[in-house]
């Protein structure tokens, strides 16, 4: 059974940085797409960044140049390095994964393309 566990969220002042981690376990397919999403109160879940098993990445426009998605295959861990954070980045951040056939969109990840989700980690940015 696939399990995704996020960590690394917290509170930070505007302009600060955080690194989120997502530990993945229980999967057997080495062909995958993994992503970070976020959801602020009263808003829809938004795709932030994604990376596939070939190392291709894409980002939503609002985080380009500030956020970096990466993976450590030896540790089965996905990361999201977030720099220059602003209050608009405040949200619950979720890790998601899809295995086998997947849809990679240059515009960023779409929630409907992922079957596996973590429980989220809260990021709060104060001004």
Cα–Cα–Cα angle for 111, 43, 47, rounded to 5 degrees: 30
- Please check the confidence at residue 119 and state whether its pLDDT lies above 90: yes
Q: Calculate ∠ Cα 41-42-46, nearest 5°.
A: 80
Taking residues 29-50, report their average pLDDT: 95
* Res. 108: pLDDT tops 90: no
User: Which has the higher per-residue pLDDT, 29 or 68?
Assistant: 68
For 50-92, how does the pLDDT look when each residue is reduced to its tens digit (9 = 90+)?
A: 999 999 999 999 999 999 999 998 889 999 999 999 999 999 9
What is the CB neighbour count within 10 angstroms for residue 93?
23
Tell me how far apart the alpha carbons of residues 50 and 39 are, in angstroms, rounded to a whole number.
16
Tokens 């062909």 sit at which residue?
31
């Amino acid at each position: 059974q696939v399990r995704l566990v996020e960590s690394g969220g917290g509170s930070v002042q505007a302009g600060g940085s955080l690194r989120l981690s997502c530990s993945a376990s229980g999967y057997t397919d080495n062909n995958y797409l993994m992503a970070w999403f976020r959801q602020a109160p009263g808003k829809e879940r938004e795709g932030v960044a994604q990376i596939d098993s070939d190392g291709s990445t894409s980002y939503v426009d609002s985080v380009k140049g500030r956020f970096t998605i990466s993976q450590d295959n030896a540790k089965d861990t996905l990361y999201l390095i977030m720099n220059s954070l602003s209050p608009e980045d405040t949200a619950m951040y979720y890790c998601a994964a899809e295995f086998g056939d997947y849809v990679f969109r240059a515009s960023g990840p779409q929630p409907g393309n992922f079957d596996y989700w973590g429980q989220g980690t809260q990021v709060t940015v104060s001004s």
